[in-house]
Amino acid sequence: MRFRGLTWDHPRGRLALERAGGPVDWDVQPLEGFESAPIAENCAKYDLVVLDHPHLGEALVAGCLQPLDEIFTAEELTAIDARTIGRCLESYESGGRVYALPLDAATQVMACRPDLVTEHPQNWEDVLTLARETSSASKRVGLCLAGPHAFLSFLSVAQAMQPELDLRNGDTWVPDEVAEAAIALLAELAAMTPATTRGLNPIGMLEHMASADDVLLCPLVYGYVNYAALSRSRPLAFHDAPRVGGGPPGTILGGTGIAVSTRCAVNDELRAHLLWLMSADVQAGFIPENAGQPSARAAWLSEDVNAPVGGFYRNTAASLEAAAIRPRHDGYIAFQSEASAYLRQGFDDRTPETLMARGLAELFARSKEKSLEEART
């Protein structure tokens, strides 16, 4: 019996799955589709769907995912959670049930050109200092602002300023004073970001940094191990996301999970294949050997895994451990896109941070109201 799976079209998203064999035939969609395509539509066509945790609320309202405790034993899920770095498995939990296996781990980290930056910044004050010093130079600090990433950078800065902030259930929002400070910081950096990168998603930004010379450092971009490979002609260096004072790195969890749609009739072969993908040996061997980015903590700390990629995993592991979970209410995906567009426009118009913070809070409240209205109907 064959199963249909959908993942995203980048070596990190597809190569290991395609080469793993097993009973699944994988199709791909672009990163933009992965970030924003309606999850219910994908689940109607595919047995397995690689997704990001913010889609969970939408998926649960649509009733299109199978809870994994009906497929795997509690002991199996507990063992996977114990091996996983940070909150990766936790991000796919809701109501005490797990809805995806954490195949891939990622978060926003700092990327730089090691030939252009001799000593990378540790905190946001140092990032601003470097940006100001290079603002009139040909090589500058640049933000990743395209798609949802202006808003995700806002959340990461807010998380650095208030590490205890927990937005995962969609029942709280960023305090006004934190939101204003985060917007003010990002607005200053956005004004100094080279125009050549304004429309680039994380893959585009990293490709640009590896091929052009006008961006020496991006303080927040989702880490892609592929661009750290020492086999590349110009590998990038990756470091923990910036901190505020002596606090933890401020960053928002990414990565991907494999979810099982309600149309899928799981058999023993598929179940065994999914457990194999999550096993310790595969996570520390087969996955990174085939352009994947494992979710197992042991892989992130392994010298063998780190050696060919310049210490990418080891240098950003603290960010993964500290990474926060995004809101996951139904309606969040649309809000994330709308909020990011709102921030970009505000940066361009130099809108005061007090007004922008108020506007973001209003957009968030409307997304919650819409979610409640749809739940009632």
Instruction: Report pLDDT digits (tens) over 248-286.
Output: 999 999 999 999 999 999 999 999 999 999 999 999 999
pLDDT of residue 31: 74
What pLDDT is recorded for position 37?
Answer: 75
- Which pLDDT belongs to residue 30? 84
**What pLDDT was estimated at residue 372?**
63
pLDDT value at residue 44: 96
Kindly indicate the confidence band of residue 346, based on its pLDDT and cuts at 50, 70 and 90.
Answer: very high
Residue range 8-22: mean pLDDT, rounded: 94
Q: What percent of the chain is predicted at pLDDT more than 90?
A: 94
Same fold, 3-105+255-295 and 108-252+327-376: yes
Q: State the pLDDT at residue 369.
A: 86
Let me know if domain 3-105+255-295 sits in CATH 3.20.10.10: no
- 142-183: per-residue pLDDT in tens? 999 999 999 999 999 999 999 999 999 999 999 999 999 999
Q: How many Cα atoms sit within 13 Å of 278 on the Cβ side?
A: 26
For 31-40, 184-193, 254-263, 272-281, which range has the lowest pLDDT when averaged over its residues?
31-40
Per-residue pLDDT, 184: 98
Using H for helix, E for strand and C for coil, what is the string for 206-246?
HHHHHHCCCEEEEEEEECCHHHHCCCCCCCCEEECCCECCC
Give residue 371's pLDDT. 62
Q: What is the pLDDT of residue 32?
A: 73
* Distance, CA of 84 to CA of 88 (rounded, Å): 7
Domain ranges of the chain: 3-105+255-295, 108-252+327-376
Q: Mean pLDDT for the chain?
A: 95
Question: At residue 338, does pLDDT exceed 60?
Answer: yes
Does the pLDDT value for residue 376 go beyond 60? Answer: no
Query: For 207-220, what is each residue's pLDDT tens digit?
Result: 999 999 999 999 99
Each residue's pLDDT tens digit, 56-100: 999 999 999 999 999 999 999 999 999 999 999 999 999 999 999
Instruction: Report the candidate in 212, 240, 205, 206 with the shortest Cα–Cα distance to residue 226.
Output: 206
pLDDT of 75 = 98
Alpha carbon 134 to its chain's center: 28
Homologous superfamily in CATH for domain 108-252+327-376: Periplasmic binding protein-like II (3.40.190.10)
| Average of per-residue pLDDT across 113-118 | 94
CA distance 16 to 318: 25
Q: Could you tell me the pTM of the whole model? A: 0.94
Q: Where does the chain have alpha helices with state H?
A: 11-19, 31-36, 39-45, 56-62, 74-83, 124-134, 149-161, 176-192, 202-211, 268-277, 280-284, 286-289, 297-301, 303-306, 312-322, 332-349, 353-376
Give the Cα separation of 200 and 208 in Å (integer): 9
- The answer to whether residue 45 scores a pLDDT higher than 90 is yes
> β-strand 3-8 against 48-51: which pairing, if any?
parallel
- Cα 268 to Cα 272: distance, rounded to the nearest angstrom: 6
Q: How much is the pLDDT for 209? A: 97
pLDDT at 377: 54
Q: Are 92 and 75 in contact (CB under 8 A)?
A: no
